[in-house]
Amino acid sequence: MPTERIVEGGVPYQHEGGTPLVLLPRREVERRVGLSRTTIYQRMAAGTFPAAVHDIDSATVWWLEHEITGWIRARVEARDRARMQAPP
């Protein structure tokens, strides 16, 4: 799946940590998180999934890769915390 780096003047924008910002198309987000388009949009509306970036010139929708990775990481951390708190 193609990704797109956000670039201005030939220099990629960078996240606070210095990581270049990378945009992921919806189908790539679906593939990475294992959720359907409908579920993604429902969770966005509920505020439990990263917000999309809309292209003003088209109907294209993107997500920032580091936000999707962070969302996945948070799911894994929640799972691990739950396992540690569960009685033996």
Matching residue, tokens 């679906």:
30
Tell me what pLDDT residue 63 has: 95
CA distance 65 to 76: 17
Read off the tokens for 7. Answer: 């670039």
Q: What is the pLDDT of residues 4-44, one digit of tens each?
A: 665 555 555 666 677 778 899 999 999 999 999 999 999 99
Find, among 58, 68, 48, 75, the residue nearest to 1 by Cα. 68
Answer yes or no: is pLDDT of 1 > 60.
Answer: no
Matching residue, tokens 């948070």:
74
Q: What is the pLDDT of residues 40-88, one digit of tens each?
A: 999 999 999 999 999 888 888 999 999 999 999 999 999 999 988 877 6
Domain boundaries, the chain: 4-85
- For residue 65, the number of C-alpha atoms closer than 13 Å in the C-beta half-sphere is 16
CA distance 10 to 59: 25
